[in-house]
Amino acid sequence: MGACKQQQNFCSYQNTDVFSKNAFQYLEGIMYPKKVETGQFLFLDHDTADKLFYLRKGQIKITKVTEEGKELVLYIFQEGDLIGELGVSSVSRYNYSAKATRNCDVGVIQQKDLETIIWQHGEVAVEFMKWMSNMHGITRSKFRDLMLYGKKGALCSTLIRLANSYGKMTSTGIALSQHFTNTDLAELIGTSRETVNRMLSQLKKEGIVTFEAGGMIKIIDLAYLKEACSCEDCPLEICRI
């Protein structure tokens, strides 16, 4: 379990970093393994939400798709992240889908089993609340960024979040360790591919970002990006993708 890997990554947090070793062992105890292949869904919109998922390996995108096929990516989860809801009422349903964008090893946690642990161990309950609070913080801060500062602000906010989740510090800037296509970014922002392309070209021209081998984005002027979305320097567990 993470903690900020200083220098190596710009700063990569897993959302399970809120759990103590002790609490995490309880979770391990009730997990059973599952594999999900690239392109497959871990769960679908409207499925019964009676499980949590611990992502051991791979990548999961949480998406919401409209009837017309427009796709909004709400989160991208990585190794060490916990996925799902703790509705605690047995009848609640997901209102988004979870799609594997790489081959995944997942630990499945049954709601019922988790509830037992929460009942018995106050410590685990408190840590779960911290996790839930963080997740809500991510959603709320994205909401703010995507609503208030236009598409340019939305892109800049998203680049900062990507830097926090995928960035590696180098002497010349923060290099994203993964390639994101214009379409990927557009789906994170809720805009069109063309708009992303034009905005990125502009940022490149102004020397805010550069493109490395394989189209990987490197952030040169983080301060500019922060300015563009009135960054409030939220804690890193919230400022993520």
| Among residues 108, 125, 216, 236, the one that binds a copy of itself under rule CB under 8 A | 125
Q: How many residues bind DNA (CB under 7 A)?
A: 19
Region for residue 91 given its phi and psi (left: phi exceeds 0; alpha: psi -120 to 50; beta: otherwise): alpha
- Tell me the residue length of the chain: 241
Rounded CA Rg of the chain = 18
* Site for a copy of itself contains 230 (CB under 8 A): yes
Residue of 152, 155, 180, 184 lying closest to 166 (CA atoms) = 180
Per-residue x/- mask for DNA, residues 158 to 197, rule CB under 7 A?
Answer: -----------------------xxx------xxxxxx-x
16-75 positions binding a copy of itself, by CB under 8 A: 46, 64, 66-67, 70, 72, 74
Place of tokens 């500019």: 224
Return the number of the residue (3 or 213) whose C-beta is nearest DNA: 213
The H or E element spanning position 60 is strand 60-65
Binding partner of residue 197 among DNA, a copy of itself, none, CB under 5 to 8 Å per kind? DNA
Q: Hey, what are 113's tokens?
A: 């089993």
- The two three-digit tokens of residue 39, written as one number: 């392109």
* Residue 118 binds to a copy of itself (criterion: CB under 8 A): yes
Q: Is 185 exposed, middle or buried (0-12, 13-18, 19+ CB in 10 A)?
A: buried
Partner from a copy of itself, DNA, none contacting 56, C-beta within 5 to 8 A by type = none
Residue 22 host element (H or E): helix 21-30
Q: Give the binding site for a copy of itself (CB under 8 A).
A: 46, 64, 66-67, 70, 72, 74, 85-89, 92, 95-96, 115, 118-120, 122-123, 125-130, 132-133, 135-137, 139-144, 146-149, 190, 230, 232, 234-235
